[in-house]
Chains A and B, each alone.
Chain A
Amino acid sequence: MTTSDIKLTGSSSEISPENPAPVIEAPRARTAKTPKATRGNFEMYGWLFMRLSGIVLVVLVIGHLLIQLVLDGGVSKVSFAFVAGRWASPFWQAWDLIMLWLAMLHGANGLRTVINDYAERDNTRFWLKMLLYAATIFTVLLGTLVIFTFDPNIR
Chain B
Amino acid sequence: MDKVEAESAASPYITATFRIRRFNPEIAAEAVWEDFTIEIDPKERVLDALHKIKWDVDGTLTFRRSCAHGICGSDAMRINGRNRLACKTLIKDLSPEKPISVEPIKGLTVLKDLVVDMDPFFQAYRDVMPFLITSGNEPTRERLQSAADRERFDDTTKCILCAACTSSCPVFWNDGQYFGPAAIVNAHRFIFDSRDEAGEQRLEILNDRDGVWRCRTTFNCTDACPRGIEVTKAIQEVKRALITRRF
Contacts and interface: CB of A to CB of B under 8 A. Distances in A.
A7 interface: no
Interface in B152-203: 170-171, 174-177
Interface in A19-46: 21-22, 24-32, 34, 36-38, 41-44, 46
Contacts, number: 79
Contacts of B25: 21-22, 24
B45 to A, nearest CB: 27
Given A46-B213, A117-B171, A117-B175, A27 B109 contact: yes
Given A28-B177, A31-B120, A117-B174, 10 more contacts: A11-B60, A12-B26, A22-B25, A26-B109, A27-B175, A30-B177, A36-B127, A41-B246, A46-B213, A117-B175
19 contacts: A24-B110, A27-B107, A27-B109, A27-B175, A27-B176, A28-B177, A29-B109, A29-B120, A29-B176, A30-B120, A30-B123, A30-B177, A36-B205, A37-B205, A38-B208, A41-B246, A44-B242, A47-B213, A47-B239
A12 B170 CA distance: 34
A37 B243 CA distance: 17
A41 B205 CA distance: 11
Interface residues of B, number: 35
Main secondary structure of the interface of A (DSSP, over half): loop
Contacts of A10: 60
